[in-house]
Amino acid sequence: MDDRVLFDRFHQALDVEPPADAYQRLRGALDQRSARPAQGLAWRPRWPRMGLRLVAVVTAAVIVIAAAAALFSTHRVADRTSPADTSQAIMAYKTMVGTDHDKVQTAGQAEGCSSGSEFAGCEAYFALIMPTHNRFLADLNRFHTPSRFATADSQLRHHLTVQIARENVILTADRAQDAATADLWVKVQDGQTGRTWVQIMVASIVSSKQGTVDTYAASFRYENQKLGSCTECNDLAGQSQFSCTGSGVSTCLDLVHNVEAQVTSLQAALVAIAAPGLLVTKDRQLQLDLAKADSALMSMADALAAGDQAGFSAGRGLYQQAMIAVKRDAI
């Protein structure tokens, strides 16, 4: 093989651009060395040219070995469980969620806000609880969530964000001495779309266990049958008409909370008994569609509290679409 070809391949293999006259200088140096008579020898050694070839061959071999090792390493890494999905990471996430929620619960014990007319009490209560909600949300945003909790985590963050917004509305109403508005929003906040949902979901995350096909399927069938037999759920998902203005607001809010209780129960069951590998994809889609139904119910509750009939109707439309998808997922 020509020396120039070896020279070029050597630098290509190392991904190094040689100076413009590098080969000529190397060739000249080798020729001078070859032309110099060897002392004590009757023959001229050919090591310079062979040395160049040997270096090129060895270098090429090293590069091939390194590339193979890198490829092997890449495949090995791809085959490993994601760091967020190890048993240690799952336990760390569960501990964080449980600990942060306990802090929320503890913070609110010193004060109470059970009705909108408790102006001073509600303000003191939210002054204690809102910082813990913000810390909880910050921890969730910062944590590398295990994949089995991905949808639950996203929805938990959504609920906490909505709770913080609702608390600000209650505080504004309290400071304006608007007991009626504050009382309605307290009912929303304490209801199924508010604090209750968070309590149930946190409990499911903390107690979550890996399920088998049988245990997962049994849990799903039980909760799905409950949801399917829920008359109010079917009415809200159907074409029944509701009068949700004036005195009807409270009745409609109770309806939304009752429906949310059934949706939440199925959401929590899917988290408490994690889907086995064969059912992970189907489970993920089901959880996503249930999350859409849950979000729609939250928006409906907020619209009722705000006296926004159009917002309630829009939320109901989203709920109807989500429940069609949930039924399709269950087939």
Instruction: Average the pLDDT over each of 70-84, 127-141, 178-192 and give the range with the smallest value.
Output: 70-84
What does the pLDDT average to over 180-187? 93
The amino acid at residue 106 is: T
Asked whether the predicted pLDDT for residue 318 surpasses 90, the reply is yes
Q: 12 is in which domain, residue-wise?
A: 3-34+43-79
Taking Cα atoms as reference points, which of 194, 190, 184 lies closest to residue 158? Answer: 194
**Residue 38 pLDDT:** 47
Instruction: Average the pLDDT over each of 16-20, 43-47, 220-224 and give the range with the smallest value.
Output: 43-47
Asked whether the predicted pLDDT for residue 48 surpasses 80, the reply is no
Query: Is 72 in the same domain as 104?
Result: no
Token pair for 163: 């709770």
Domain final residue, candidates 79, 106, 140? 79
Query: Is 201 in the same domain as 312?
Result: yes
Query: Is 117 in the same domain as 22?
Result: no
Domain final residue, candidates 79, 100, 134? 79
Give the count of domains, the chain.
2
**Residue 109 pLDDT:** 78
Query: Is 173 in the same domain as 28?
Result: no
Domain final residue, candidates 79, 99, 133? 79
What does the pLDDT average to over 10-25? 55
Stated pTM of the model = 0.74
Confidence of residue 15 (pLDDT cuts 50, 70, 90): very low
Query: Is 15 in the same domain as 145?
Result: no
Query: Is 251 in the same domain as 282?
Result: yes
Query: Is 254 in the same domain as 296?
Result: yes
What does the pLDDT average to over 19-35? 60
**Residue 7 pLDDT:** 55
Asked whether the predicted pLDDT for residue 66 surpasses 60, the reply is no
**Residue 83 pLDDT:** 77
Confidence of residue 131 (pLDDT cuts 50, 70, 90): very high
Query: Is 135 in the same domain as 73?
Result: no
Query: Is 291 in the same domain as 146?
Result: yes
Query: Is 110 in the same domain as 224?
Result: yes
Query: Is 174 in the same domain as 279?
Result: yes
Letter string b/e over residues 78-117, b meaning 16 or more CB atoms within 10 A of that residue's CB: eeeeeebeeeebbeebbebbeebbebbeebbeebebeebe
Query: Is 156 in the same domain as 219?
Result: yes
CA–CA separation, 191 and 203 (whole Å)? 17
**Residue 330 pLDDT:** 84
Taking Cα atoms as reference points, which of 194, 196, 199 lies closest to residue 98? Answer: 199
**Residue 199 pLDDT:** 97
Asked whether the predicted pLDDT for residue 265 surpasses 90, the reply is yes
